[in-house]
């Protein structure tokens, strides 16, 4: 896809669909407990794949590139008594480690086999009744492993107590899950490194719990980047001031480093992104993004486009996402003239030079690579390879982007 050098049209409004993170959690709970009514469900490919998997009664479930679905369904099928399921995915999915989650489930009494390589999908899962109540889990692994356990915890007759060992990564995502459980009526407690979830007490009512899904803050991050580079006002719907999404911290990050003020319109469930005039950009951005690693790519591209030195830490989980996102950033930022240095946990800029004459961004089957680099079209022309990867989380992205840009 060719993105010509463009300008941002001011005062445009974008409606982003429901959060993929929240939607996927709710779909698992809806399938387990039946009495949830979900509004503004995400239209992402990941969510649709999970919804399809939960609605089908088949022995083989292929979730393609949907990593969240792989993790959540591993625990889900583990407690489906009497049902055997082969859970598989794409070639890249078979390279994404799942051993920590499988080991935790096995410690609880689950029956799971690796069908190809030890520690990786595909999995053969034989559903059993789980009665164990405690499990130790490394705290620095993907928060989705922990959430996967939390989502089934209320279905276990004795509940579940998870002991997180070490420093917790992406705590905000765990807290989002617990907030959803609380709103649904599943009691829980998170103190220190111990999470306790009580078994769900069925209420004597046929009325379903309605949950209106807030729009996705990860998707909103790209429009913060567009606003930072285009310096015009953008309106986004449907977002709330008191969000449980960890990526809502994008509002503070972009205010602090790029002068983008967020105004909340409570009654309209709308936010306004407005660039501050004559904002003094920082000499350097130093930030720990341990709690919001999914928006690191967006931040790095914004900083590179504005030639602001950056040093971002807390990015250990990016190595095992859809691609090795740190290596992908290292490779693709070079095309913008930005040299970086990466470790297993960090990325920092080394120098800013002249962009390539023909910029073609590889996406590595990663939706966030495509969308995080797209705002650069406000600086210069670029090409995005395999642009359809955005369907994983934000199918309407290219249309929404085109609607707010002029050549």
Give yes or no for residue 206 having a pLDDT over 80. Answer: no
The reported pTM is 0.78
Higher pLDDT, 57 or 336: 336
Give 257-298 pLDDT, tens digit per residue.
Answer: 999 999 999 888 899 999 999 999 999 999 999 889 999 999
Distance CA 195, CA 148 (A): 13
Contact status, residue 47 vs residue 97, Cβ threshold 8 Å = no
Tokens of 141: 């692994």
What is the architecture, at CATH level 2, of domain 20-212? Alpha-beta prism (3.65)
In order of 198, 255, 287, the CA distances from 27 in angstroms are: 20, 34, 34
Distance CA 246, CA 177 (A): 11
- Predicted pLDDT of residue 323: 73
Burial class, 206, CB count within 10 angstroms (exposed 0-12 / middle 13-18 / buried 19+)? exposed
Report residue 242's pLDDT band, with 50, 70 and 90 as the boundaries: confident
Tokens of 251: 């509002």
- Predicted pLDDT of residue 28: 97
- Predicted pLDDT of residue 170: 74
Give yes or no for residue 204 having a pLDDT over 60. Answer: no
Give yes or no for residue 240 having a pLDDT over 60. Answer: yes
Residue positions annotated with a catalytic role: 294
* Average pLDDT, rounded, for the chain: 93
Element holding 26 (H helix, E strand): helix 20-33
Give 310-357 pLDDT, tens digit per residue.
Answer: 999 999 878 766 678 999 999 999 999 999 999 999 999 999 999 999
Report residue 7's pLDDT band, with 50, 70 and 90 as the boundaries: very high
Report residue 209's pLDDT band, with 50, 70 and 90 as the boundaries: confident
CATH of 2-14+215-406, one of 3.40.50.1970, 1.10.620.20, 3.65.10.10, 2.115.10.20: 3.65.10.10
- Predicted pLDDT of residue 318: 80
Contact status, residue 173 vs residue 147, Cβ threshold 8 Å = yes
Question: In the predicted model, what is the mean pLDDT of residues 181-192?
Answer: 93
Give 83-140 pLDDT, tens digit per residue.
Answer: 999 999 999 899 999 999 999 999 999 999 999 999 999 999 999 999 999 999 998 8
- Predicted pLDDT of residue 319: 72
Contact status, residue 325 vs residue 297, Cβ threshold 8 Å = yes
Tokens of 379: 């600086």
DSSP assignment of 149-181: HHHHHTTSTT-EEEEEESSPSSHHHHHHHHHHH
DSSP assignment of 311-332: EEE--GGGGGSSS-HHHHHHHH
Distance CA 197, CA 190 (A): 9
In order of 95, 187, 260, 276, 326, the CA distances from 279 in angstroms are: 44, 46, 9, 6, 29
Give 15-42 pLDDT, tens digit per residue.
Answer: 999 999 999 999 999 999 988 889 889 9
| Dihedral angle sign, alpha carbons of residues 92, 328, 138, 70 | negative
- Predicted pLDDT of residue 321: 65
Contact status, residue 235 vs residue 242, Cβ threshold 8 Å = no
- Predicted pLDDT of residue 370: 97
In order of 42, 52, 85, 95, the CA distances from 56 in angstroms are: 19, 6, 12, 25
Distance CA 145, CA 74 (A): 9
The reply to whether domains 2-14+215-406 and 20-212 share a CATH topology is yes
Domain-by-domain residue ranges, the chain? Answer: 2-14+215-406, 20-212
DSSP assignment of 385-401: TTGGGGGGT-TTHHHHH
Percent of the chain with pLDDT over 90: 80
């Amino acid at each position: 896809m060719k993105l010509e050098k463009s300008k941002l049209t001011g005062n445009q409004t974008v409606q982003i669909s429901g959060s993929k993170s929240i939607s996927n959690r709710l779909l698992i709970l809806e399938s387990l407990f039946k009495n949830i009514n979900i509004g503004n469900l995400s239209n992402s490919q990941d969510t649709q794949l999970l919804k399809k998997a939960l609605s089908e009664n088949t022995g083989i479930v292929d979730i393609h590139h949907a990593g969240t679905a792989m993790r959540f369904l591993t625990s889900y099928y583990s407690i489906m008594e009497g049902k055997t399921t082969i859970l598989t995915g794409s070639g890249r999915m078979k390279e994404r480690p799942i051993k920590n989650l499988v080991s935790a489930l096995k410690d609880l009494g689950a029956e799971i086999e690796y069908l190809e390589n030890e520690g990786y999908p595909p999995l053969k899962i034989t559903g059993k009744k789980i009665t164990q109540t405690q499990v130790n889990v490394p705290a620095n692994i993907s928060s989705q492993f922990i959430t996967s356990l939390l989502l089934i915890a209320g279905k276990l007759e004795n509940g579940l107590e998870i002991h997180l060992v070490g420093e917790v990564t992406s705590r905000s995502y765990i807290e989002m899950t617990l907030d959803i459980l609380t709103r649904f009526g599943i009691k829980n407690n998170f103190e220190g490194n111990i999470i306790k979830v009580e078994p769900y007490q069925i209420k004597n009512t046929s009325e379903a719990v309605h949950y209106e899904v807030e729009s996705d803050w990860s998707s909103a991050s790209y429009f913060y980047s567009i606003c930072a580079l285009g310096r015009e006002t953008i309106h986004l719907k449907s977002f709330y001031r008191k969000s449980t999404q960890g990526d809502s911290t994008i509002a503070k990050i972009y205010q602090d480093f790029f002068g983008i003020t967020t105004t909340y319109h409570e009654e309209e469930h709308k936010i306004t992104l407005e660039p501050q005039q004559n904002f003094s950009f920082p000499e350097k951005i130093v930030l720990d993004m341990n709690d919001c690693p999914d928006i690191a790519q967006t931040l790095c591209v914004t900083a590179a486009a504005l030639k602001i030195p950056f040093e971002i830490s807390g990015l250990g989980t990016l190595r095992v996402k859809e691609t090795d996102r740190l290596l992908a950033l290292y490779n693709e930022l070079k095309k913008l003239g930005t040299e970086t240095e990466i470790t297993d946990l960090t990325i920092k800029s080394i120098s800013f030079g002249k962009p390539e004459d023909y910029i073609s961004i590889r996406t590595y089957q990663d939706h966030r690579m495509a969308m995080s680099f797209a705002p650069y079209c406000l600086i210069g022309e670029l090409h995005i390879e395999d642009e359809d990867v955005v369907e994983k989380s934000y199918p309407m992205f290219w249309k929404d982007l085109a609607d707010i840009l002029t050549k």
